[in-house]
Structure 1
Amino acid sequence: MTFSLGPRATSAGYRLAAFDQIGSTNAEAMALARDGVLGPMWFVTSEQTAGRGRRNRSWIAPRGNLAGSILEMIDVSPAVAATLGFAAGLALETALQRVSVEASLRSAGSDQLKFSLKWPNDVLAGKQKLAGILLEAEAVAGNRLAVVVGIGTNVVAAPEGTPTPATSLAALGVQIGAEELFAVLSDAWVEFRGIWDDGRGFDAIRKLWLQRAAGLGERVAIQTGGSPLEGTFETLDESGCMIVRTSDGRLVPVAAGDVYFGSAASVGAT
Structure 2
Amino acid sequence: MASSPYADLDRPPLAARALQRALVVPGGLWRRIDVIAETGSTNADVAGAARDGSGEGLVVVAEQQVAGRGRRDRQWVSPPRAGLTLSVLLRPGAAVPERGWAPAPQRAWGWLPLLAGVALMEAVQRITELDAGLKWPNDLVVSDPEGAPGKAAGILAEVAEDAVVVGIGLNVTTRAAELPPTTGLPATSLQLAGAKAADRDPLLRALLRGFERWYAGWRETGGDAELCGLLGAYRRGCVTIGREVRVLLPGGGEIAGVATTVDGDGQLMVRTADGAERRVSAGDVLHVR
Q: Give TM-score scaled by structure 2 length.
A: 0.80
- Equivalent position of 2:225 in the other structure: 202
**Shift, 1:8, TM fit:** 5.7
Show CA shifts across 1:70-101 (max 9, x none): 1011214443111111111110001111211x
Give the one of 99, 112, 117 matched to 2:127.
99
* Contact 1:86-1:206 within 8 A present in 2 as well: no
- SS at structure 1 position matched to 2:67: strand
* Contact 2:29-2:212 within 8 A present in 1 as well: no
* Contact 1:246-1:252 within 8 A present in 2 as well: yes
Give the one of 142, 162, 170 matched to 1:153.
170
* Contact 1:5-1:182 within 8 A present in 2 as well: no
Following superposition of structure 1 onto structure 2, how do residues 71-86 of structure 1 map, counting pairs within 5 Å? 71-75=89-93, 76-86=104-114
- SS at structure 2 position matched to 1:132: strand
Show CA shifts across 1:132-157 (max 9, x none): 00000122xxxxx2111000000111
Matched-pair identity in %: 34
Give the one of 77, 88, 109 matched to 1:70.
88
Give the one of 182, 196, 200 matched to 1:162.
182
- Equivalent position of 1:120 in the other structure: 137
Letter in 1 for 2:190: L
Give the one of 244, 259, 262 matched to 1:236.
262
Structure 2: tracts of 5 or more residues without a match = 1-13, 94-103, 144-148
> How many residues matched?
247
Q: Give TM-score scaled by structure 1 length.
A: 0.86
**Shift, 1:176, TM fit:** 2.2
- SS at structure 1 position matched to 2:140: strand
CA separation of 1:193/1:9 partners in 2, compared to 1, >3 Å: closer, same or farther?
farther
- SS at structure 2 position matched to 1:63: coil
- Equivalent position of 2:238 in the other structure: 213
* Contact 1:95-1:184 within 8 A present in 2 as well: yes
Which deviates further from its counterpart, 75-84 or 159-168?
A: 75-84
Show CA shifts across 1:21-52 (max 9, x none): 11111100010110111111111122111110
Q: Cα RMSD between the aligned structures?
A: 1.8
**Shift, 1:6, TM fit:** 7.6
Q: Which is bigger in relative contact order (C-alpha 8 A, separation at least 6)?
A: 1
Letter in 1 for 2:259: F
Q: Distance in 1 between matches of 2:209 and 2:49?
A: 23
- Equivalent position of 1:248 in the other structure: 274
* Contact 2:61-2:87 within 8 A present in 1 as well: yes
- Equivalent position of 1:10 in the other structure: 25
CA separation of 1:196/1:5 partners in 2, compared to 1, >3 Å: closer, same or farther?
farther
* Contact 1:122-1:132 within 8 A present in 2 as well: yes
Q: Distance in 2 between matches of 1:86 and 1:9?
A: 23
